[in-house]
Structure 1
């Protein structure tokens, strides 16, 4: 997925370059997205089995950034030069891992770091430990996913080579995910338009902190259920929710 570098391009030329890229590699991107989705679902299954959680406790979704979104980001960044889109964005392909419980965000993150099929790059951005001003909480990490790329050699022969694609993975709880959706319009888009207000930001942060408190309460609820389930398990009545 490379092109020869050229002198500085104007917005129209960059748009044309991006359009050609999507036209040529859209099928590859969709397939890599599916590979990422499979890898993460395998890790989620392993994690839930290990911790005796129901499969639904960790859900994975993935997507390819649309060319419209990519061009919008280019515009916001004042049309930076590129010959490959991942020079501009790390989330050309992205996945979201949504957990029932906040401590499982850290747990599945550790599983991802140990994966043989995903290579985590750099340091993660832990907005759960250090939330954004808006109260946004999530763990963001960048990882390379390996895949078989189909290419033509100089003689026109088809060959399969090892390649990798940089992807972004976001990990957060269901409550954090709901808050992120609610605040996307009010915070992210407003900030991009230059709209800021300290009182407004403080209100959002206060609401987010109350939601974070509920996330912590859910852990206590899970542990109380666990204790009850273990007592029943001791009497061969039912399996526990999580092995402690």
Structure 2
């Protein structure tokens, strides 16, 4: 954090541009590394729980410089030395699961990873949805990587680390989030605040949450029926001769 005078928006913008110029390639590589780490955890989880690999999908991205500057502007240009001091999702990952309990299971796998250092603060919007109805679990993780440093003509490899945001949600929650992002999030950032429409959005999200729970109940019921069927397979005797 800058300890001297307060920087102007133009100075903060210049600082952000320098950061992206210096660390842009690093962030892309960290994003790829995070994708690999999470994909490995998803593979382990699906194998342990006898799920198809497509039951959990992983995507990662690096926030563009333009999006970062817009976010700074919306927040009133908070002071920073490194952008990650004020914006934690420069690198973001999304873990989309078929069922709610898989979100919890993957959260445990992520917490147990030796390659990710998970921060203590957790934003659980599945247990406590936002007023708009938004549901997701947000984690912050420090991802270690090999940082290349130039010192004159010499090149050194040092231990580097950057904070990333990991979101976990169900497919229905993800669909709601992606669909509403285009009109709801953009309207909110423009200063629109309509309580009537907010309530409708929240009700839609609640219905989808109920369907998530219904699908979970149906899955367990079908699994119980299948297990019972395996205990008592159809009798395949030899027909007698007359």
Deviations 1:9-55 (A, max 9, x none): 22222222211211121111111001100000011111111111111
How many pairs does the alignment contain? Answer: 234
**Alignment CA distance shift 1:34-1:78 (3 Å):** same
> For residues 213 and 35 of structure 1, what CA distance do their matches in structure 2 show?
35
Alignment partner, residue 111 of structure 1: 109
CA contact (8 A) 2:2 2:80 kept: no
Q: CA deviation at 1:121?
A: 0.7
Alignment partner, residue 56 of structure 1: 54
CA contact (8 A) 1:118 1:146 kept: yes
Of stretches 84-93 and 156-165 in structure 1, the one that deviates more from structure 2 is 156-165
Alignment partner, residue 212 of structure 1: 209
CA contact (8 A) 1:124 1:142 kept: yes
TM-score (norm. length: structure 1) = 0.89
> For residues 82 and 230 of structure 2, what CA distance do their matches in structure 1 show?
55
**RMSD between superposed Cα atoms in Å:** 2.0
Alignment partner, residue 224 of structure 1: 221
> For residues 157 and 136 of structure 1, what CA distance do their matches in structure 2 show?
49
Alignment partner, residue 98 of structure 1: 96
CA contact (8 A) 1:147 1:164 kept: yes
Q: CA deviation at 1:64?
A: 0.3
CA contact (8 A) 1:121 1:141 kept: yes
1:1-244 mapped onto 2 (5 Å cutoff): 7-153=5-151, 155-231=152-228, 233=230
**Alignment CA distance shift 1:217-1:70 (3 Å):** same
> For residues 133 and 183 of structure 2, what CA distance do their matches in structure 1 show?
12
Structure 2, unaligned runs of 5 or more: 235-242
Deviations 1:113-153 (A, max 9, x none): 11100011122100000111111100001010111111123
TM-score (norm. length: structure 2) = 0.90
Structure 1, unaligned runs of 5 or more: 238-244
Structure with larger Rg: 2
CA contact (8 A) 1:134 1:187 kept: no
Q: CA deviation at 1:232?
A: 5.6
